[in-house]
Structure 1
C-alpha cells in the first residue's frame, strides 16, 4: 500500500534541494529583517519581508509534501 509514496519523495527531491537553497536565502533575509525591525520599529515594510522570508524557509517541506501527495495510492 505504501510502495508508491517513496516514488513521490524521490521525484520531489531535486526540487526540494532547489527549495532548500531558497530557504537559506529566506533565512538570511529573515535575520536581516529582524535586525532592521529591532533598530527601527517604525519600519512597517519589514513585516512583509519577514513574512516572505518565513514562507521561503518553509518551502522545502511544502514542495516535498506536494510531490508525495501527487502520487495516488
Structure 2
C-alpha cells in the first residue's frame, strides 16, 4: 500500500547497518505516495538471512516493524 513518505529507515542487526530507503513510486502512484523504497549498502551484497527493523513516520504517527528472513531449504528428489 502506498504511503506518504520520501524515505524510510532500515536497521539490520547482523551484519549491523542502517540503510535509508528512498521512495521510488510504481507507475500510477501519485500525490507523493509510494509503495516501493530502494537503497544500497555494501553489506547488502552478502548472501545471508537478514533481520532487523523498518521504521517510518506516516502522517505524524511513528511506525516500526520487525522482520527476519528464513533460510530457503532446497527440495531434494
User: What's the TM-score, normalizing by structure 1?
Assistant: 0.24
Which has the greater radius of gyration? Answer: 1
Query: Which one has the bigger strand percentage?
Result: 2
More RCO (CA 8 Å, sep 6+): 1
More helix per residue = 1
